Amino acid sequence: MRLLLMSDTHLPKRAKALPEGLLAELLRADVVFHAGDWVDTATLDLLASRSARLVGVYGNNDGPDLRARLPEVAYVELGGLRFGVVHETGPAQGREARCAARFPDLDVLVFGHSHIPWDTTAPTGLRLLNPGSPTDRRRQPHCTYMTATLTDGRLTDVELHRLPPRHPAAADTP
């Protein structure tokens, strides 16, 4: 099972559209995770219409329309692994222990908010994944997203993908 992880798309404030490379990944993904800060419902509608399965949550920048359609925390079991999705997990220091205590029944937690890619494992075995942002790199060198493979109850091939820099003219096209 191929997984696509993204967060913090912030459309249309940070970009006018999702990057083509990310849109191409939608066709290959069995499950798409979005860890909040969509900002517009059009992005939710686009991903819902193009994804085989979409698991998403709202973030702190998402208004009432998105909050009415998405939970604050989402849970799903896939291939024997228990996944959770949440937007914010607090400061980096102490994140593993804090998340392991908050989500003791999960195997994988997908989160966002910081726009900083993250891949660690808590002492309890909880895997924490933040795919960064495909549209707003903030202080990071690249815009990013993640893919992973779920095989025989194991998460493998977790890969952080760097997107090419946007060109101003390209960012203005829908």
- Domains, the chain, in order of start with CATH, read 2-171 (3.60.21.10)
What is the per-residue pLDDT for 170?
41
> How high is the pLDDT of residue 98?
97
Residue 165, pLDDT score: 76
pLDDT < 70 positions in the chain: 166-174
Q: Quick one: pLDDT at residue 85?
A: 98
Closest listed residue to residue 35, CA positions, set 78, 73, 82: 73
pLDDT for the residue numbered 166 = 66
| pLDDT of amino acid 174 | 37
Whole-number Å distance between alpha carbons of 7 and 114: 10
- The residue count for the chain: 174
